[in-house]
A and B are shown apart, each in its own frame.
Chain A
Amino acid sequence: MTKIGLEIHCQLTNLQSKLFCPCKANYREFEINENICPVCMGLPGSLPRLNQEAVKKATMIAMALNCSTPKKIAFFRKNYFYPDLPKNFQITQLNIYGDTSIGGTGSVMVGDKEIRITRIQLEEDPGRLIYEGSSSKNQITLVDYNRAGTPLVEIVTEPDFDGPKQVREFLNILSDLLENLGVSDPSLEGAMRADANVSIEGGKKVEIKNIGSFHDLEKAVHFEITRQESLHSREIEIAQETRHWDDKRKITISSRSKEEALDYRYFLEGDIPWVTIESEIHDKLKSEMPESISSKKERYVSKYNIPSQVADVLSSDKFYSDLFEESHSESTAKEIANIITTDLMGLVDTREKREASKITPKHLKDLAETIQSNKISRNSAKNALYEIVKTGKDLSHIISELDLGNVSDESELIKIIREVISEEFQAVEQAKSNPQTVNFLVGKVMQKTKGKADPKLTLDLLKKEIGV
């Protein structure tokens, strides 16, 4: 049986500062080596200063993944030399001397399958290496330390996955969960990275490192299983080794480095005293936890009678569910859910479009109410939504500007209906014998009014005119 375990690194991108210094956690907006200070550069004499907010956020992640949360946590040094590591050790956590990591064992359901979490640890991200030069002879390595010290949460799972699809589903759940908690923006480049352990029946464990995105993780796992199965079928032994993911060629390559043989000489980081998470703080964090995605979904279905599939889509994306939460009322909930999932999602399907979008909860509320009071057709509402996202203008403005309001003046509508009846003799006859087909005529009226006719009124008047 194929076994896959994951180590997922997730940056706490929504924090103000790095894990041990006041530099910005959001390093992406800086020029190279501008987001640094004596602490994250590991200058002689500097000391780490623990970001308490990071401890809280990481604890919330542990809670959301149903992990145990120890009362006292400790930090350790992982010692190894690497140019992206300013101190040549990384401050991290581990559980070899008792459960001192921020999260202990937990679990997540992926469909019917339980994926067990081994532990969650809070640690600092290293800097970023940039390789330049075409051949190995003239290759140079540049280091950008802007990222060094960014708060990182490592989530380690048991080898409970049986294939890439399950990995993908888990990552989707995890990514939605982190976003829902408001701790991280998984769509930011490099915010989510992972290592994977893959073994097939009868083979040894292979670790794949350096997978820079969730998308590639699924590919890497898939590639690795195929590679191992191919070896196995040719009766070639699968070596226990570390491989790197080459994201250009989309393959895994054996790393010839001695990394596996490294002895990290873990010991307690004396510069950071043990942190006690008092039960009051623990309870407070628990009470501050945002509603989970599954509970949201359940509420949408049971309270508003929103179809399960729509509720699923709506609840798992924080951007949409926030919009929904702030705009809906009991009577408009279903309408708004529909607007979001059928129309809005298509308009803002990328990160850039979302960020540029001008839509507010009030827009959605107005839109739903206007539809419900028959002042605008669903068709026109779609056009209005497009304008809202683009300009952010008031709905009433947009309706009058683009003349999107429903034709609900009876006399005007009857004029148009009579026109249609005179033009569509055959259809009228057909409608008389088969009232189901009257919708064809409604469509014709709609065409003439460019979709602005009040559909219900149109139908009523039509029936009356034809006499069915």
Chain B
Amino acid sequence: MNLKISALEYVQQVQNGTISAEDFVSTTLDRIKSVDDKLHAFLSVNDDAVNQAKEIDKKIKSGDKVGACFGMPISIKDNMCIKNSTTTCASKMLENFVAPYDATVISKLKQQDAIFIGKANMDEFAMGLTTEFSAYGPSKNPWNTEYIPGGSSGGSAVSVSAFECIASLGSDTGGSVRNPASFCGNVGYKPTYGLISRFGLISYANSIEQIGPLTRTVKDTAFLLNLITGLDPNDNTTVDNHNEDYLGEIEAGIEGKKIGIIKEMIAEGTDPAVMSATKDAISKLESLGATCEEVSLDMVKYSVAAYYTITATEAGSNLARYDNLRYGYDFPVEGYEFNSYIEKARKKFGPEVTRRMILGGFVPSAGQAGKYFLKALKVKSKLTKEIDEAFKKFDLLIAPTVPILPFKIGEKIDDPVSLFLVDINTVTANLTGKPAISVPYAVSNGLPIGIQLLANSMNDKMLLQAAYALEQTVKLPEVPL
């Protein structure tokens, strides 16, 4: 059984009877058993997956209508609710939280007969970009297990790269899908804000984050987007995409497209290998008929500071509900006065979450808001103006997904500020609500490099067409696992 197939190949092979969902799923579970001790992509695995696959095989055999996923095993970042399953956000705070409902993306994929093979590891409450801040231990990069896989959707990226599933759903608040996709060599997508319902996604910074797929190919991403995008009455921030078909014309090419190279994202500090991969990608795009030209987004230099100020503010509010009174972990409330109880209960948060919540209590507070939070909002709106201006001239923008290569586990964990700077190329898409994709493009010293493309809001389809064109120009070596 070959697990190294794309989502579209899987669908084709199940449909024509070459493989069965049951065989594929049980082989995938064996794979998880054999490699996940080393990689730690999963926080929990679905024990019922084989039975669910059997049911789908039955449906196929009896000629019943079968959903578009045909039992495809998909991993889900552990910050999305699946009814009756533990959803921890990789936090001790939610150790015993069993979701009583399905996230919208989950119910949509259930209808399409996807199988949720397991809940993927992540940085606690999605705060981090290495997955080292998981309260349950870090995930490892399958390309070299001494290295971080990126984050915060690290478990998702690892599970896709290590063939522990076909595809995964992560969430991207400041690069949390694109960063690990780049570091692990898969495609990572952050859609236009509002394209995918966030209902059931546990909020970190709700005004800028989106759920996004991590897949082996650009076409697989388009395939999944067709299933999970669109208006959702349960999420007032969703936008109507009129059932756009992202896969249909994906091979349209990029001839005549104008692409802006974001100057501030290839600045000093960019790793030479990343730099040369970017230049190579640009010349490939030009050879396909696009024209590329440098563009400056001045506000990018303040974007990381603005990003951390805004996300800390929202996190401070979004995570306030974890007082352990209604759900959480085992810690009886009897005998405590309210304030002393929650103070004690909330000690279960890990160090990075605690850090950001303290920051989130400070930057929007009376007397400080003008210096920090309101200023950050100004940067956000100026950056949006700048990028909107750029999209008047360009169809797409390009930059490396991450300016550096993956680093070793433990290397930067004690230096939060240098970690923050790794986000410099990804936060712009979140702050401005624009769609962005990371396409695996090169390998340097055995570690993958991703190239990022951005498009204007609701131009997701064109973005995927460009990413597909770029993807066709390279063939990466296999994961040495």
Contacts and interface: CB of A to CB of B under 8 A. Distances in A.
Interface stretch (B149-157, B360-368, B452-460): B360-368
A45 B201 contact: yes
B97 to A, nearest CB: 6
Contacts of A143: 325
Interface string B182-205: 000000000000000011111100
A414 interface: no
Given A45-B202, A45-B203, A77-B317, A271 B236 contact: yes
B416 interface: no
Contact of A44 (B87, B313, B314): B87
7 contacts: A44-B321, A45-B199, A45-B200, A81-B323, A263-B366, A270-B314, A272-B237
Contacts of A83: 323, 325, 338
Nearest to A77: B317
Interface stretch (A84-92, A118-126, A299-307): A84-92
A44 to B, nearest CB: 4
A81 B316 CA distance: 12
Contact of B235 (A41, A47, A81, A82): A47
Nearest to B360: A265
B404 interface: no
A79 interface: yes
Interface of B: 79-81, 87, 89, 94, 97, 99-101, 103, 198-203, 206-208, 233-237, 313-314, 316-317, 320-321, 323, 325-327, 338-339, 342, 361, 364-366, 369, 373
Contact of B206 (A43, A88, A265, A270): A270
A290 interface: no
B365 A272 contact: no
Interface in A221-275: 263, 265, 267-268, 270-273
A164 interface: no
A50 B80 CA distance: 22
Interface of A: 38, 41-50, 77, 79, 81-83, 86-89, 141, 143, 263, 265, 267-268, 270-273
Contacts of A49: 233-236
Given A49-B236, A81-B320, A267 B94 contact: no
A178 B251 CA distance: 61
Contacts of B100: 38, 43
Given A42-B321, A45-B201, A141-B338, 10 more contacts: A45-B199, A45-B200, A83-B338, A88-B321, A265-B317, A265-B369, A267-B373, A270-B208, A270-B237, A272-B237
B81 A45 contact: yes
Nearest to B320: A88
A46 B234 CA distance: 9
A269 B437 CA distance: 27
A63 B316 CA distance: 36
Contacts of A38: 100-101
B320 A89 contact: yes
Residue among B89, B207, B373 having the largest count of chain A Cβ atoms under 10 Å: B207
Contact of B89 (A44, A87, A263): A44
Contact of A50 (B89, B236, B323, B364): B236
Contacts of B79: 45
Contacts of A263: 365-366
A81 B339 contact: yes
B202 A44 contact: yes
A88 to B, nearest CB: 4
A460 B321 CA distance: 82
Contacts of B206: 47, 270-271
A465 to B, nearest CB: 81
